[in-house]
Amino acid sequence: MAGKRFTVRSRDIRWREGRYGKRRRSPLLSRPPRPRPVLDVVIALVASLIAGGLVLCMAFLLLGSYGLPLHLGYGVILAGVTLCSLLMGPRDRGGVMITAGLALVWILGTASLYVVRDAIHLRPHEHRKPAAVVFGREPS
């Protein structure tokens, strides 16, 4: 009288309770995403321009603090960023495009800053001496 005490009779051994359709496909069988070269180029150029802008801000700080010419500070810092991106960055298509964009921004930015180097001047504000502080007097 005591038969098999298996709760799920007449079903496959691999059957599990739960929602139907939860089967997972093997990642090897799924297709890789379609390449979008235009989108990759746009993303690489935007990332390179943002990096160039940040380096330009650092070059302005070096100009104001140490009097280092703007084209020299910009060129040295962005050359270091480009070299680090080439050595430590990923070797896939996106990483190579970002490195190429950084190199393009480095060359064009340094050349343009070198051309306009005579027009770049940091002048202090027209504060010649601090205002005199007078205690005990009301302003008139």
pLDDT of the chain along its 140 residues, tens only? 555 555 555 556 666 666 665 556 666 777 888 889 999 999 999 999 999 999 999 999 999 899 899 999 999 999 999 999 999 999 999 899 999 999 999 999 999 999 999 888 777 666 566 555 556 656 55
Residues 77 and 112 sit within 8 Å (Cβ to Cβ): no
Gap between the Cα atoms of 82 and 77, Å rounded = 9
Asked if residue 138 belongs to a domain, the reply is no
Task: Give the total number of structural domains in the chain.
Answer: 1
Asked if residue 93 belongs to a domain, the reply is yes
Asked if residue 47 belongs to a domain, the reply is yes
Write down the pLDDT at residue 41. 93
